[in-house]
Structure 1
Amino acid sequence: MNIVETKIKGLLILEPRVFGDDRGWFMESFNQQVFEKALIDRGLDVPKFVQDNHSYSQKGVLRGLHYQLDPHAQGKLVRVVQGRAWDVAVDIRKDSATFGQWVGVELTGENHKQFWIPAGFAHGFIALEGNTQFLYKTTNYYSKECERSIIWNDKDINIDWPISEDLNLKLTDKDQFALSLDQATNNNDVF
């Protein structure tokens, strides 16, 4: 497995080895020992995964930027198993040198990339194709009381979303009217 470090410490892109021939392909989608070693080698905490989630999105669906506060903060290992998405993580750790910065990566059913997003980051994505399906491994259980959102188009974060005229954005009210990072920070709703 190839591990790609991003501009923000802790956010990693995992590129599994894929073995293919004219019959199809095989890959090891998760290996606890390899994942732990990659984190330990970089001085990062090793999580324990407790839940797997699977989501389906139509083209143009934008979800995020979501996170959960302590004591139910979640780290997420995400991948797209079908379709194509632009996946984003935003550093919302107040004391971090990279607070408010983001990293984006295209995840597809074909490139098999995975994105490790530890607790302390808001997460979101936009489905760039119909029938885009995500798998998430999470380090904590869902808690409605701890769930928070930051507006996807916050001007201070300035995410470069790949939005084209044919995309026809689809958002929930929760995502369309979420707080700005500044509002969330003033409410002590960040890490």
Structure 2
Amino acid sequence: MKFIETNLKDAFLIELEPRGDDRGFFARTMCRDEFANVGLNSDFVQQNTSFSVHRGTLRGLHYQTPPHGEDKLVRCLQGAIVDVIVDIRKDSPTYMQHQMFELTSRNRQQLYVPKGFAHSFMTLEDNVEVSYLVTATYAPGSEDGLRYDDERLGIEWPLPVSVISEKDSSWPLISERTTTLY
């Protein structure tokens, strides 16, 4: 695997290194030792899958508050997404900055999202499947999120939002929050 630093501190884009022959290819998608060599947590305790029927479906921006923060390893298995992460760690030099990545079943890239980041993705095609590993189990009382259309974030989504949950469209704006983000 190739670990490529992003513009956001501690987040990495990971490219697979397929080994191929006339049957196809084989590639490692996660290796505890390789992750440790780069300083990344690989103590994954849960794997989640998301399937979205319609192009323009938006999920997020989600995160879990301490002490239930989670690192994520995100991969698009079918179709294509634009994945957006926002650094919400107050002490980070990239605090409140975001970056966008196109993850597809064709480019097979993965995104390592550290604790203290809000995470979201928008489907670029119909019938998209995304899988992600997480380092903490889901804790409903620690779930929080940011509004995808908060002007403070300035995220320019590539498509109009066609489908979004009521919860994701109702997160408070950053200017309306009475508590710290992370």
Tell me whether the two structures share a fold, i.e. TM-score over 0.5: yes
Q: How is 1:27-66 mapped onto 2 (pairs within 5 angstroms)?
A: 27-39=27-39, 46-58=41-53, 59-66=55-62
| Match of residue 141, structure 1, among 114, 120, 137 | 137
Aligned counterparts of 1:22 and 1:125: Cα–Cα separation in 2: 34
AA partner of residue 144 (structure 1)? P
Residue 100 of structure 1, CA deviation: 1.0
- AA in 2 matched with 1:71: P
Unaligned runs of 5+ in 2: none
User: 1: distance between equivalents of 2:173 and 2:118?
Assistant: 12
AA at the equivalent of 1:33: D
Trace 1:1-191 onto structure 2 (pairs within 5 A).
1-39=1-39, 46-58=41-53, 59-163=55-159, 169-184=162-177, 186-188=178-180, 190-191=181-182
Q: What is the identity percentage for the equivalent residue pairs of Structure 1 and Structure 2?
A: 38
Aligned CA RMSD, in angstroms, stands at: 1.5
TM-score of the pair, normalised by structure 1 = 0.89
Structure 1 unaligned runs (5+)?
Answer: 40-44
Distance in 1 of aligned mates of 2:173 and 2:6: 24
Choose 121-130 or 93-102, whichever is displaced more. 93-102
Contact kept? 1:67, 1:73, Cα under 8 Å: yes
Preserved contact between residue 76 and residue 104 of structure 2 (Cα < 8 Å):
yes
